[in-house]
Chains A and B, each alone.
Chain A
Amino acid sequence: MSDVTASGAPVAEPKVETPFRRFVSEFFASKTATLGLVVFTIIALLAILAPWIAPQNPYDLAQLDIMDGRLEPGAVGGSGITHWLGTDDQGRDMLSGIIYGLRISLLVGAGSALIACLVGASLGLLAAYAGGRTDSVIMRVVDLQLSFPTILAALMILAFLGKGILNVVIALVIVEWAYYARTVRGSALVERNKEYIEAARCLALPTRRILFGHLFPNCLPPLIVVGTMQVARAIALEATLSFLGLGVPITEPSLGLLIANGFEYMLSGKYWISFYPGIALLVTIVSINLVGDHLRDVLNPRLKK
Chain B
Amino acid sequence: MTVYLLRRILQSFMVLVAMSIIVFVGVYAVGDPVEILISPDADQLERERAIRALGLDLPLWEQYLVFVQRALQGDLGRSFVFNEPALQIILQRMPATLELAFGSMFLSILIGLPLGLYAGLKPDSVASKTIMAGSILGFSLPTFWVGLMLIMVFAVQLGWLPSTGRGETATLFGLQWSFLTANGLAHILMPAFNLALFKISLVIRLTRAGVRETMLMDYVKFARAKGLSQNRVIFVHVFKNILIPVVTVVGLELGSTIAFSVVTESVFAWPGMGKLIIDSINVLDRPVIVAYLMIIVLMFIVINLVVDILYSVLDPRVRLEAKA
Which A residues have a C-beta under 8 Å from some C-beta of B? 131-132, 135-136, 140, 143-144, 146-152, 155-156, 159-160, 182, 186, 189-190, 193, 221-222, 225, 229, 232-233, 236, 239-240, 243-244, 256, 259-260, 263, 266-267, 274, 278, 281-282, 285-286, 289-290, 293, 296, 300, 302-303
Q: How far is it, in angstroms, between the C-alpha of A286 and the C-alpha of B260 when the chains are bound?
A: 23
Contact of B19 among A144, A232, A278 (CB under 8 A): A144
Interface residue tally for chain B (C-beta within 8 Å) = 61
Let me know if B19 and A267 touch, CB within 8 A: no
Let me know if A144 and B15 touch, CB within 8 A: yes
Let me know if A156 and B29 touch, CB within 8 A: yes
B16 to chain A, nearest CB (A): 9
Let me know if B145 and A263 touch, CB within 8 A: yes
Which chain B residues (215-251) contact chain A, with CB distance < 8 Å? 216-217, 245, 248
> Does B213 make an interface contact (CB < 8 A)?
yes
Which B residues have a C-beta under 8 Å from some C-beta of A? 7, 11-12, 14-15, 18-19, 22, 26, 29-31, 132-133, 136-137, 139-145, 148, 152, 156, 202, 205-206, 209, 212-213, 216-217, 245, 248, 252, 255-256, 259-260, 262-263, 277-278, 281, 289, 293, 296-297, 299-301, 304, 315, 317-319, 322-324
> Nearest CB to that of A160 among chain B residues?
B29
A147-B262 CB under 8 A given contacts A156-B29, A159-B30: no
Q: How far is it, in angstroms, between the C-alpha of A14 and the C-alpha of B116 when the chains are bound?
A: 41
Contact of A193 among B209, B212, B293, B317 (CB under 8 A): B317
Let me know if B256 and A259 touch, CB within 8 A: no
A282: chain B residues at CB < 8 Å are: 137, 140-141
B323: chain A residues at CB < 8 Å are: 131-132
A157 to chain B, nearest CB (A): 9
User: Which of B260, B278, B318, B322 is packed against the most chain A CB atoms within 10 Å?
Assistant: B322
Q: How far is it, in angstroms, between the C-alpha of A43 and the C-alpha of B26 when the chains are bound?
A: 38
- 20 example contacts (A-B, Cβ-Cβ < 8 A) are as follows A135-B322, A143-B301, A143-B304, A144-B18, A147-B19, A147-B293, A147-B299, A148-B19, A149-B260, A150-B260, A152-B277, A156-B26, A236-B143, A244-B278, A263-B145, A266-B152, A289-B136, A289-B139, A300-B213, A303-B212
Q: How far is it, in angstroms, between the C-alpha of A151 and the C-alpha of B296 when the chains are bound?
A: 14
B152: chain A residues at CB < 8 Å are: 266-267
Let me know if A260 and B256 touch, CB within 8 A: no
B12: chain A residues at CB < 8 Å are: 143
User: Nearest 9 A-B pairs (CB), nearest first?
Assistant: A285-B140, A156-B26, A147-B300, A159-B30, A147-B297, A149-B259, A289-B136, A239-B142, A232-B139
A256: chain B residues at CB < 8 Å are: 142
A240-B143 CB under 8 A given contacts A150-B260, A152-B293: yes
User: Which of B12, B136, B245, B317 is packed against the most chain A CB atoms within 10 Å?
Assistant: B136
Let me know if B139 and A302 touch, CB within 8 A: no
A281: chain B residues at CB < 8 Å are: 140, 142
Let me know if A240 and B263 touch, CB within 8 A: yes
B14: chain A residues at CB < 8 Å are: 140
A190: chain B residues at CB < 8 Å are: 315, 317-318
Contact of A286 among B18, B30, B140 (CB under 8 A): B140
Let me know if A132 and B322 touch, CB within 8 A: yes
Q: How far is it, in angstroms, between the C-alpha of A131 and the C-alpha of B322 when the chains are bound?
A: 6
Contact of B281 among A144, A152, A186, A266 (CB under 8 A): A152
User: Which of A152, A155, A286 is packed against the most chain B CB atoms within 10 Å?
Assistant: A152
Let me know if B144 and A260 touch, CB within 8 A: yes
Let me know if A240 and B142 touch, CB within 8 A: yes
